[in-house]
Amino acid sequence: TYVIALPCVDVKDRACVDECPVDCIYEGERMLYIHPDECVDCGACEPVCPVEAIYYEDDVPDEWRDYTVANAEFFAEIGSPGGAAKVGVYDFDHSLVAALPPQTH
Ligand code: F3S
Ligand code: F3S
């Protein structure tokens, strides 16, 4: 799977959403999350993010390793909706993200 990391927080450019052929990039309050079971590893999202927040799971920088877990755990209670467009924006974030101070970029 691919993973969205810290640079997305409080940016949410959403260019990645338009590229994903399976609509598996879901929006939380402060960042977006890739569903690890729905992502088909097409990689189309990675180059379009203007803040380079997206990485293949094996390439996530060490400092952002926690985001691999956070992307997966975000869906613990959501499950697998099978498409982000129909569920809209969730009004919460993973605890790792919710605890961050406002990010300025
Ligand atoms: Fe975030 Fe980059 Fe997508 S800022 S919403 S991961 S294009
Ligand atoms: Fe979609 Fe990116 Fe995966 S475009 S299928 S989330 S690699």
- Which pLDDT score is estimated for 104? 85
Among all bound ligands, the one having the nearest atom to the CA of 103 is: 1
Long-range CB contacts (within 8 A, 24+) of 97-101: 97/9, 97/28, 97/30, 97/31, 97/70, 98/29, 98/30, 100/6, 100/9, 100/30
> What does the pLDDT look like over 36-59, one tens digit per residue?
999 999 999 999 999 999 999 999
ipTM over 0.95: yes
For the segment 10-21, the average pLDDT, to the nearest whole number, is 98
With 70 as the cut, is the pLDDT of residue 72 above it?
yes
Round the CA-based radius of gyration of the chain to a whole number and report it.
12
Give the percent of the chain with pLDDT over 90: 98
For the segment 58-79, the average pLDDT, to the nearest whole number, is 98
Phi, then psi, of 103 in degrees rounded to 5: -95, 130
Which of 2, 68, 74 has most ligand 2 atoms within 8 Å of its beta carbon, as the pocket-test mutant? 2
Pick from 75, 63, 77, 70: which is nearest to 95 by CA?
A: 70
Measured between alpha carbons, how far is residue 58 from residues 11, 30, 97 in Å? 24, 24, 21
> What's the chain's average pLDDT?
97
Among all bound ligands, the one having the nearest atom to the CA of 59 is: 2
Residue ID of nearest Cα to ligand 2 atom 4:
20
The DSSP secondary-structure symbol of 58 reads G
Which of 35, 45, 54, 68 has most ligand 2 atoms within 8 Å of its beta carbon, as the pocket-test mutant? 45
